[in-house]
Amino acid sequence: QVHLVESGGGLVQAGGSLRLSCVASESTFSSYVLGWFRQAPGKERQFVGCISRSGISTRYTDSVKDRFTISRDNARNTVYLQMNSLEPEDTAVYYCAASSYTYTAVRGASFGSWGQGTQVTVSS
């Protein structure tokens, strides 16, 4: 289990940007694939994207491609989610998560450690 703490959420107008951060307490942070998920009111939790252990590889759900970017700093035990061109449909609680699976094998159910979430609200 990895202890994860997200920050950086808030209220932003449509078209604006936010950067979320997620800090892990685990010293072996670099051994985990990190993911971002979101959950809007009344909806199921949705995979947003994930990043490989080295940070070289990333993948995203179609709705955020070309707008969101995931990066990580293993020296700081931190993963980031840069969100640009935000839309009201991006309003949700955003969670970071960690998986010990390999990047190619990881799926939504592979993430065993979760942060508490941070609220992102995009106004129209």
Task: Dump pLDDT digits (tens) for 93-111.
Answer: 999 999 999 898 888 889 9
- Predicted pLDDT at 61: 96
What does the pLDDT look like over 28-86, one tens digit per residue?
Answer: 899 999 999 999 999 999 999 999 999 999 999 999 999 999 999 999 999 999 999 99
Q: What is the pLDDT of residue 107?
A: 82
32-68 residues labelled b (16+ CB within 10 A) or e (exposed): bbbbbbbeeeeeebebbbbbbbeeeebebeeebeeeb
How far apart are the C-alpha atoms of 18 and 23, rounded to whole Å? Answer: 16
